[in-house]
Chains A and B, each alone.
Chain A
Amino acid sequence: MVLFANEPPTYRDAMYQAFRGRGRSALLLPLEAAVDDVVGDGAFQAVVLSGNEERAERISRSVPVVNLTYGPGEVATAYLAGQATARRDLTGFAELAELIETVAGLASIS
């Protein structure tokens, strides 16, 4: 189960639905700031966040994180055990979905 807590909401909803379209289990968290309250019980294999590196590092001590940042273009950074472990300049949704699946242990690392 992957938790989509990223902002803005249109992105979060679209990515959540597209990820489920790949046959994966996912949940939406409408308030990214509340993510600390829900990740501690081990229910999630990965969490998708946006922007805040400090939060991504902290949350990744409990559960793998994919942190999205936007400027011109998009970057996804994977965090495991409090550290950034991989960074991707995204060129499409499939690339993001594969990164999420990899950090969640749903796919083998290519």
Chain B
Amino acid sequence: MARETKDIKVLIADDHRSFAEALRTVIDLERGLVVSEVVSDGSEAVAVVERDHPDVVLLDIEMPGVDGIAATRAIKQSSPETHVVILTAHEDDTMVARAVEAGASGFLSKLRPVADVAGAVRAVTRGEALLHPEEVARALQMLEARRRDDARARSRVERLTPRQIEILQLMADGLDPEKIADHLSISRHTLRTHVQNILTRLRVHSKLQALAEAIRYGKVVAQDRGD
């Protein structure tokens, strides 16, 4: 007696609509695969998954509104059994790590032949990994290292004194050293000492780098000068 097998239900989410619809045609021609819907942004994908619980979502990583990473996280929360395969033209280790952390089952480069898409859909539904475990481990380690560096930089910025933050803010406002010294009623020499201490504390080599760090972590506001 022949065993009855259920079609694998696929959702395609890609803001390049002509590609997504062409891909639908290709997948629908594959035996055992059926495209349930094609959507153009991440929030639509999340809503359709909540409603339909497809077996696989082919998800573009760069979409307007909710991007592929955020959509993956939301999809896995609402439908843990749904497999997410990220489609991307720009694969890098950080992106791989973020997607894996979010719950993606795999990556598929848009540089691959379209025939690989059906193979990937079938592989993830069989529970096979599309990514080599070493590749995943390397990507996660890199992401972890990047986060550690980020936490250290944030901690250094948090240790700036109110006076140092004030000086950085005046620099961000576009004041030259003479005006900053006047504004703070200190000598140019004292200002230089403050700036040197800022660079040492932030472990950077220029005032521009110091400003960038202070702005990045919200200690200094970059003014829109409207010019």
Contacts and interface: CB of A to CB of B under 8 A. Distances in A.
A8 B18 CA distance: 13
B21 A93 contact: yes
Contacts of B111: 8-10
A40 B150 CA distance: 55
B1 to A, nearest CB: 34
B19 A15 contact: yes
B22 A95 contact: no
Interface stretch (B94-102, B113-121, B135-143): B113-121
Interface string A46-81: 000000000000000000000010101110100000
B32 interface: no
A13 B18 contact: no
Interface centre among A9, A14, A17, A76, by most chain B C-beta atoms within 10 angstroms, is A14
B29 interface: yes
A101 to B, nearest CB: 14
Interface string A5-39: 00011110111011101000000000000000000
Contact of A10 (B18, B25, B29, B112): B112
B25 A21 contact: yes
Given A18-B25, A93-B25, A13 B17 contact: no
Contacts of B19: 10-11, 14-15, 74, 93
A96 interface: yes
Interface string B77-116: 0000000000101000000000000000000111111111
Nearest to A17: B26
A14 B26 contact: yes
A32 B25 CA distance: 23
A72 B60 CA distance: 12
B16 interface: yes
Contact of B26 (A13, A91, A92): A13
Nearest to A96: B18
Given A11-B110, A72-B64, A17 B15 contact: no
A91 B20 CA distance: 10
Contact of A9 (B26, B87, B112): B112
17 contacts: A10-B19, A10-B116, A11-B16, A13-B114, A13-B115, A14-B22, A17-B22, A17-B26, A18-B21, A18-B25, A21-B29, A68-B18, A70-B16, A72-B15, A92-B18, A93-B17, A95-B18
Interface of B: 15-19, 21-23, 25-26, 29, 64, 87, 89, 108-117
